[in-house]
Structure 1
Amino acid sequence: MFDVLTVAALADELTGTVLDGRIQKLGLVNGTTVAAEVYANRRRHALVASADSDDPAIWLADRLPSTDPGLITPFGLQLRKYVRGGFLIGIEQPALERVIRLSIVKRLAGHNDHEANELDDDEAEIDPDDAQDDAPWSAGMNRVELIVEIMGRHSNLILVDGDGLIMESAKRVTSRMSRVRPVLPKLPYTMPPPPDKPDPRRLTSAGAESLLAGGKPSATLADVLVRGLRGVSPQIGREVAFRLTGNAGIKLNAVSPEMTSELARHTRNLLEPLLTRTWQPVVYKQEDVAIGYAAVPMSHLAAIANAEDVASVSAAVDALREVGGDAGPRDHAQRRARIVAAIDRECEKVSSRLHSLQEQHRRSAKTAQLREWGETIFAYLWHIQPGDSQLVIDDLTIPLDPALSAKDNAQAYFDEYRKAQRAGARLPEHIAEAETERSYLRQLRVQADQAEGFAAIETIRQEFDEHTGGRQPVGERPGNRSKKQAPRRVTGLTEVSGNVIYIGRSGRENDQVTFDIGGAEDTWLHVRGVPGSHVIVRWLRPAEDEDERAVETAAALAAHYSGSRTGGLVEVDVTRRKNVRKIKGAGPGMVTYRNERTIAVRPQDEASLKAEGRLD
């Protein structure tokens, strides 16, 4: 997870490893990925920076990836002229930003005869120790910055000159694409606008209380932290939630108001390395394969995987990547980890869109005021003199445009009111759609995280691929994609009384279990308020009364195949299948239900239930 902790740790690692080094080789791996060989401290280092929308990163790889000499872009040409052969003299990470600024100096052709010949830097290897004797970044050197912005789909690599003007970028951003921050040659470079959120490193009990009070009760604590604090990533949010409650996916309505002091303390403690600059990079493995990493230990990952200390954050990043190769993931665990990461990125995009829609809806609530102001101006036309900047009536103050007449000011408010009304008419519908999509992605993530074996993992991958319109999870290449599998038939588990329990392990299987296998009078179960599997009990002898022991067995399985698997007591909703309805237009497995009752059980898998004699 390239969050602020990872980026800060990498900035420190680069400073201690390649600072003052010479960039001997440099090329494009693809249009958005740069690879450079940096000679520093009498060693060659492979520095890679990528602005890939799905997998942005910067790290020191264990080997230099293959570059494409036939790929010629304006950005690549500028890098060759101003960066290759230069010296890396500065490395900086702005506070709480996923940005690293690399300062490079180089003597350009014309300043030195031997440079004027434009040596091929891929073949000319100069000992930086000899070069540094001549103070290579003294007078006569040209200075540029290569700015690496790691911000999901907005990631970019931007080359900036000594005057702060953009020279070129891996991705050009026009004013149509972004009115706030276009990225084009000759424009001044500006940092991404910082969000107006509190600094989590200085979070107080009062700040935590305000944060919780402003969140939706149905939201997870992790999401509230991500939305409410600057620089907090989903992984950081889940870790704080886990340290506080032992449940990374806990809902806000389950967090006690008395926990605010501890919430603030855990948040500060987790981000303390940003102040102390002490790092403990860790890779988390399942079945001896890396599935995640962090710059500092993460308890919620350690609860589901084996923690392994590594020498550097780059080593942790490299453990999860196939740099420059065409091979896919090494085995099922690696494949699953990449799909989970892709789902997380998509969920983050949807959450950002939802937040934007909710802000628009909040602002649209003020549209009635625009109409009232227009009506008030019309009612007091006689009171307004040419050039007035406001109309004051009792306690009401209405801003006026001095360049407009009173009547035109009123008309301007009416026009603005109608425009806002049109824009806001469909906002509730769009918000509901985004909330449903986010719920679906969270369900898919839980199922991907728990998928075992190639067939189950491939089912999740295909379902996610269909949802995103063909965008592939990280590590999937067009030549390596598997053929679409036919939906597999869900097999049942026979409960000791002869009733059969069916469990959906994906969205498609949830639909199959609920609507194809389950009969109207069969019993349907799902963990309350948490993503997870649909579970059906097919009664051997359908009757008015349910077998409570069978229901409890099915509920334990529903809890196990949910986001609350690692929790204690888990609430599970139980209802007849006839009370379950599919949400029109939503993803597979998305339903509404009614007439439910709720029971509390402990999660149990098939093996433990068989050992207890509750499953045959």
Structure 2
Amino acid sequence: MFNNYYFLRQLSQALKERLIGMTLGACFSQSKDELMIGFYKGAREQWIRASLIPNFNLLTFPLDYQRKKVNSIDLFKEAIDQEVEDVIQYHNERAFLIKMTNDWGLLFKMYGNRSNILLIHEGEVNTVFQKRHIEDQNMDVSTLDREIDQSQEAFLEGGIKATYPTLGREANAYLESNGLNDVSPVEQWTRVSDLVKKLESPRYYVEELEGQVQFLLFQLDGATTLLESDDPIEAANEFYYRFSKRYFVEREKGPLIKEIDKRLKQSKSYLKKHYARYEELTENARFEEIANIIMANLHNIPPRTKKITLFDFYNEEDIKINLNEVLTPQKNAETYYRKAKNQKLEVKNLEVNIQQKEDEMEELKKHREALDQFEMVREIRKYIKTNGLQKLQKNEPIFPFRKFEYKGFEIWVGKNAVNNDLLTQRFAHKRDLWLHARDVAGSHVVVKWKSKQPNFPVDVIEKAASIAAYYSQRKTDTLCPVIYTPKKFVRKRKGDPAGLVVVDKEKVVLIEPAPFSETLT
């Protein structure tokens, strides 16, 4: 209720008692959303700190303030050295005016996120503090006083919102929680009138409820009272201290914790998917056994056989084995040995990736637990810097493609048709090397060009080609033809479906499909 009319009318009266006869000695800003206003009379000082940060529109009243020597700009210079004559509260409006000599004044417009401080001269707006509120420059100050009929007759005819628009969210919620909507209009009038009387001569409460610090002119059931006072300035200062501490701490660590939670959720999904693949591979890792069974029965397999039933001496039962009819039994065995090798390689990569992701999750959990404990902005910033969490703080987007690095070259791999288009049309440079399995569906693969090494080494091309073959419909073939070309020779025709491109110039390499590893398979 800090920006509530019923509090501001008490606050402006308290300021009137303090400020009349004092002189405006300083008005400056050290950040874009904070204005410092200093008054003096002899050795006595009174300051007003106007914090107009969105969702944090508060006034505090320090008795002294040490101005920084840097990042500071003087404002409202025309009114400096003017003496305060009065503090005027506008009727039924969340605004008050500090009236000074020679028709100067400081208008405090406390409209929540539209709050602003305006310099007034001869009843007109001279300049404003928050330039983003363009409409304030043309404000008609003479219309700020609002006369509202708040009689019982007006209430019974128009209801609470028309008669008491100044009650505010908290007061209305308080009335509703105490059954206002369940009683007759006459009883409603009685309850509203009783609350208004309390608001017109209130005590001030800084309360905490469900982890939120609130400023109220009445007490809430179940809330913890942090301060009870009959001095609006003391209450305003205490609320600023309590609320700002919580606000700035949450603003510092809240987005970081949110990003950590997001990445933990993504990591859980990643591990679920990769554990499933790992179990699939390890439970069905029979390629090498099948190859051994074929080798043990080379003379029992007729030529051009597509499928044969042989005795499985591992499980002591018959097993049906698929064969490539154009290959000899020995070549079929070699194919299964090759698949076994690639399968083992994929299992090894999965183990490494799963372990890395689990380590990353443990690290994220550790950071989250640590951040939960901090209650000082300084501690949070130190922890972020010490642990290199700036990347998380910036909420850097997750890289959209599969990415590998081989001998200093980055290899980017599309994940689906739409993602392939994104890679080729928006992320690939004309000098990058573009690859794709020939005549079948598959991922677009890009090897990033390096200015210090403009020619792509043969082993790098072969490595990228093996990846392109692996992420294609020829994944299980013995050998796969892969086209490669500078990206500048790849174009997309208007109207073609996602992932479909035209290659104007190409070379072909015949390669064995293989998942990424640091060695060339």
Question: Shorter chain as normaliser: what TM range?
Answer: 0.3 to 0.5
TM-score when scaled to structure 1?
A: 0.37
TM-score when scaled to structure 2?
A: 0.43
**Which protein shows a greater Rg?**
2
